[in-house]
Amino acid sequence: MYTLTSSQRKALLTWLYIGIFMTIVQILLGGITRLTGSGLSITEWKPIMGALPPLNEQEWEKAFNAYQEIGQYKYLNNHFTLGDFKFIFFWEWFHRLWGRLIGIVFLVPFLYFWRKKYFTGNMTTSLVVLFVLGLLQAALGWIMVQSGLNENDLYVNHIRLAIHFVAALLLLAYEVWFVLQIRSVSLQFSPSRRYSTALLVFLGLITVQFIYGAFMAGLKAAPAAPTWPDINGSYIPASLTDQSWSSGTINVHFIHRTIAYTIGIAAILLYAGLKRLARDTANTSLRATLNYPLFFIALQITLGVLAVLNAPHIVLGHFGRYEIIALLHQLVAIGILMSVVPQLYLVSRKTPNA
């Protein structure tokens, strides 16, 4: 347990809650950037000077000319006017700007709290790791963007997109875990090797699902099978032995849907087991977490079905019904992660980390 005064704990928690909120917003901005096709609009990575958008028509023309050199413009968006370009540029620029703001919101209070000696035990080391994870996420974002800055590809590489997305969720999970460590004085624990293992496996399964969700997004796979519960008339597609398991759109559909059903069943079993554990140990902290994963997973499956059924309504450059559902789908994925991590924390140790 971290030894903190009440005022220190309140200040640190407020800071971390703001960081969690900003991270969630950043993930959603990434979703908007992807759904609007904005990710390749900025062809340079300028960590400092890039905070400013083009300030005059000459600078706008220069940025637009650079975009016209890549395949996405030549083969997909060659009808774009400068006004169209400014729209997609805004979302990518805002996504990057928000990332810079997260860095400032982390670093300035960190230095203040460090000077005031708020940090105890290994807290400083953990926060440095958190900052490094944030920097790594920014670097992974640029590596992802680079994969689409050529004359052949229309979009970023879907595997790099998945790495970028999962790394963002890892950062968010780390932030939540850190908050739980600071809040430990007000939590009850029910150590159980059985359920900590089960929850780790469950989180592993969820992570694989996140990866395949990113594959679905990166491959623009939703329109390939806009039917449910079947996949274009089949429950087990004939393409399973013909397509790649990581880049074949129908196979990615099949895997993503199958894992979703598996997660739904596993969530029900975990709910029953954790409910018994909470009852047997009179753990009110654990009991308070029980309903959230089930709620988010049920909602997530529903949104996934709606996204698939609305895939025929996708219009490039338009943020309509499908895009709204897809963004909500991403938001609820965050909810699933944030509802399971506290359960793992409560059953994985007798006492909090010092």
Q: How many residues are there in the chain?
A: 354
Can you tell me the distance from the alpha carbon of 161 to that of 196, in angstroms, rounded to the nearest whole number?
A: 30
pLDDT computed for residue 120 by the predictor: 86
Comparing CA positions, the residue from 102, 135, 132, 95 lying closest to residue 16 is 102
Residues 1-42 have pLDDT tens digits of: 577 899 999 999 999 999 999 999 999 999 999 999 999 999
pLDDT computed for residue 26 by the predictor: 98
Within the chain, which residues score under 70 in pLDDT? 1, 315-317, 350-354
pLDDT computed for residue 353 by the predictor: 46
pLDDT computed for residue 350 by the predictor: 67
Name residue 234's beta-bridge partners. 231
Residue type, 206: I
Query: Tokens 């909810």 identify what position?
Result: 335
Residue 226 contacts residue 308 (beta carbons within 8 Å): yes
pLDDT computed for residue 239 by the predictor: 86
Residues 256-313 have pLDDT tens digits of: 999 999 999 999 999 999 999 999 999 999 999 999 999 999 999 999 999 999 998 7
